[in-house]
A and B are shown apart, each in its own frame.
Chain A
Amino acid sequence: MFRDAEGRPRIVVTGTGLASPLGTDVGTFWHRVTSGAIATGPVTRFSTDSYPTHLAAEVSDDGLTAPQAPDGGTPRSLRYGLHAAEAALREAKLLDHDCLRRTGVVLGTVMGTRPHVEELRRLHRSVEARAVWDAPSLLAVAPARRLGLGGPRQVVAAGCAAGNTAIATAADCIRSGQADAVVTGGVDELSEAVFGLFTTLRALAPDEVRPFDRHRRGMMPSEGAGVVVLESLEHAVRRGAPVLAELSGYAVAADAHHMTAPHPQGLGMLRCMSESLAMAGLHARDVDYVSAHGTGTPANDALEAACLEDFFGARGGHPAVSSVKGMLGHSQGAASAFEAIICVLALQHDRVPGNPTLRDVDDGCAGLDLVEGSFRDMPVRAALSNAFGFGGNTSAIVLSRFSD
């Protein structure tokens, strides 16, 4: 019961938590993400007067986002991560549990606490001393110390595949015996530098993010933190923890092709889908839902759609597909962590989120079963979540309905 067919310890999800532009508790988030709510709106963190576009998605909880002190206070990314980690541990009934000594933290990020330098500059604070604003390890150290987590600590960077990559790294931590449980996911905060960069790259949508739409015009930056608690099944059962889903497969790889363009044949994407399903012991036809990376950029969506169609079509699968980035924007390191939580919730509720901004399906994406509207009620036995990033980082995870 406690090991998979290959003899590896089974890994389960026992808690979820987040700080997102669609809510800072999982219940609100799930309601909004299956209601077609759009989080993107005018940027408030910095002036966009000189930019051609003015929209992004921001966490809108004053307790998490307001500048705290004249010295700039705590980086928002730390606040998001702490909030999400505490909520996930609470749901897992692990807060103040005596097993926290062997509970670790593995978080993924693209920019870490680096965007905090922008806050300091806005406050006219010096940034030339030791760069305390650029201390990525704090993302793991702070929740570990605050919440009393004595297990391994790691901060993983893998471009916008960081959330999934952290989850895979955390699962390996458990399987290698380093930890019984790990708080894992991804975090990033809104950054003017990222906004400026994607402006120059002409990758920002001026009005709406429309993944897989014929008229999609790009992505929008976003922010937040998504966290799940992973445990060995044995540990979860032994302490009577609620099991929300099973992390049955995961894979990470590299395109090794180009710093910004994905491999034209989607080598990394296909490899990760194939290897994660193989680890899960599942066939393509067992996957009912795919949470696509689906950034809303012309290049990503066309290639991802072609890879999904090739991969599942050749194997007799035809899963429902959606990208929540039309609602949430692209929250970088947090993106695939949010999407992992969505997959867990989809398995629990037999409901998947839709593509509410999709109006006119691109011919190149027409072979997919794209979920129209806000949601679809359907049986969900297994869900696959893709994540890809600059630098050619690719990853996929498979979450399955738990069955003993």
Chain B
Amino acid sequence: MATGIDVQTPLPPPASAVAITALGAVTASGASVSELFTDMLSGRRPFTAEKIPLVATALAGEKDEGEVYGAHVRCPLDVSEVVGDRAARTFSRDSRLLLHTVHTAGARPVPEPDRTGVVLGTLRAGRNEYLAIHNASRGDGGPVNPVWGPQSGYNAPAAQLSIHLPARGPNLTLASGATAGLDAMVLGARQVSTGTCDAVVAGGVDILSPAVAGLPGSEDVPEGEAAAAVVLRRPAPDGPVLGHLLGSGQATALPDDPALGATSAPAAAAEAAVREALRTAGRLPSEVGLGLVACGGDREAEEAGTAALAAVFGDELPSCCPTRTAGRTGGADGALAFAVALEALRREAVPLAPVERRSPDGGVPRPAGPLAVCLSADPGGHATAVLLQGRSGEAA
């Protein structure tokens, strides 16, 4: 660790912390955070080449499909029991994936729809429907499947979720790049802490597309599809709590800023974001025992994130990157890191694959402190960090 301070007794979450009361994730590893965690521990990389349709609700006779190498979600995403058969048929795959995730997380129904918001990160939502519409309309003027229309914008999954929770509070979709998933957590927490909402469903989602098919071996980490979601609420004395979001930081650095010196813009932003998360939480670097980095699969940004963690916490902080297992999941990347961090704190285990473990016996290392930091950075020089405390890290 960077400092010699050893915190023996974990501090309780401060009054300003935001409670996490539900958690879910669906990835190529399975329909739970636990299954993703297990794959990370074993080093399994569930990347396959599969033929997929452009849209889930194609008109009869349409043949838009293609083979895609990536991290495919294979569990059935049947949401008919949740929304009814008729509505389920109109759902895009990204909306279906998100709703399935939120449902399995136990987030429905929400107690006060007027006081519940949705904040979602996504970079690709609606892409396939947009292309399907263009495929159908260009040249001969259509017609297109009208079901695709409202699914073709970035806001579609969050909107579908608001309808079926229901949640009538602010409904925000963030498409800000690699940080979008963690940005959703930060903005959702702010909606709760400022009293705008009593509860926020925050997360991220993205799916694969045959229009941008990857090839086996063409990239170290291919694209993937996934969703992760949590419910954020004000801390309450009763009810289940999975953990707390203690603090957050967001920072931007411009590449041509002479003040950066030899440090890259993403690294400078990442370090500033982490320090801000610690500052807003009022916590010390020595309390952080685990780092999760989610940088959209961009090598430079990931190195910047790792360098930032080393600068703040020292070289010994165990850190990992769910993207290597779940694929480049766009707006879900940061949300998955958040979910994996909570699971790691719950299990008191760092999800490092055998080849990444430094312990002499090859055993699974424990987090070196009661808190976890999640960090996203994009190559453009923007970074977001959050500081989490698991339930087991709280004082009795």
What is A's interface to B at a CB cutoff of 8 Å? 46-52, 104, 109-112, 114, 117-118, 121, 127-131, 134-137, 140-141, 144-145, 148, 150-159, 162, 165, 169, 172, 176, 178, 192-193, 195-201, 252-260, 267-268, 271, 389-393
Contact = CB atoms under 8 A, between A and B. Distances in A.
B166 A256 contact: yes
Interface residues of B, number: 69
Interface of B: 90, 113, 118, 122-127, 130-131, 133-134, 136-146, 148-156, 158-160, 162-163, 165-177, 180, 183, 187, 190, 194, 209, 211-213, 250, 252-255, 257, 378, 380, 382
Contacts of A200: 137, 142-146, 149
B133 A193 contact: yes
Given A114-B127, A140-B176, A254 B171 contact: yes
A127 B137 contact: no
Contacts of A114: 126-127, 130
A257 B166 CA distance: 8
Given A111-B130, A172-B190, A253-B170, A137 B175 contact: yes
A391 B176 contact: no
A362 B174 CA distance: 38
Contacts of B113: 256
Contact of A128 (B123, B148, B154, B212): B212
A144 B254 contact: yes
Contacts of A47: 139
Given A109-B154, A391-B153, A136 B123 contact: yes
Contacts of A159: 153, 155, 159
A158 B172 contact: yes
Nearest to B183: A154
Contacts of B156: 259, 390-391
Ordered nearest first, which 8 A-B pairs have the shortest CB separation?
A391-B159, A196-B137, A50-B141, A137-B177, A157-B154, A136-B175, A254-B171, A259-B150
A128 B213 contact: yes
B168 A111 contact: no
Contacts, number: 219
A135 B298 CA distance: 14
A128 B152 CA distance: 18
Given A114-B130, A200-B144, A254-B169, A127 B212 contact: yes
A196 B211 contact: no
18 contacts: A48-B141, A49-B141, A111-B154, A128-B213, A131-B127, A137-B123, A144-B252, A145-B380, A157-B154, A193-B137, A197-B149, A200-B142, A200-B149, A252-B172, A259-B159, A259-B160, A390-B155, A391-B171
Contacts of A256: 113, 162-163, 165-168
A321 B187 CA distance: 34
Contacts of A252: 170-172
A110, A134, A145, A260: which has the most chain B beta carbons within 10 Å? Answer: A134
A201 B175 CA distance: 27
A50 B140 contact: yes
B211 A128 contact: yes
B149 A201 contact: yes
Given A137-B175, A157-B155, A196 B138 contact: yes
B369 to A, nearest CB: 27
B113, B166, B252: which has the most chain A beta carbons within 10 Å? Answer: B252
B175 A390 contact: no
Contact of A51 (B141, B163, B175): B141
Contacts of B190: 172, 176
A162 to B, nearest CB: 8
Contacts of B255: 145
Nearest to A155: B175
Contact of B133 (A104, A197, A268): A197
Contact of A390 (B159, B170, B194, B209): B159
Given A137-B177, A193-B130, A259-B151, 15 more contacts: A104-B252, A141-B378, A141-B380, A141-B382, A144-B380, A150-B257, A153-B176, A155-B177, A156-B172, A157-B154, A158-B171, A158-B172, A254-B118, A259-B160, A390-B159
A52, A130, A134, A193: which has the most chain B beta carbons within 10 Å? Answer: A193
B129 to A, nearest CB: 9
Contacts of A158: 155, 171-173
Given A193-B137, A252-B172, A267-B168, A152 B130 contact: no
A393 B209 CA distance: 26
Contacts of A117: 130-131, 134
A254 B170 contact: yes
A163 B202 CA distance: 21
A193 B148 CA distance: 11
A273 B133 CA distance: 34
Nearest to B257: A150
Nearest to B158: A391
Nearest to B154: A157
A140 to B, nearest CB: 7
A50 B140 CA distance: 5
B132 to A, nearest CB: 9
A184 to B, nearest CB: 13
B243 to A, nearest CB: 23
A14 to B, nearest CB: 21
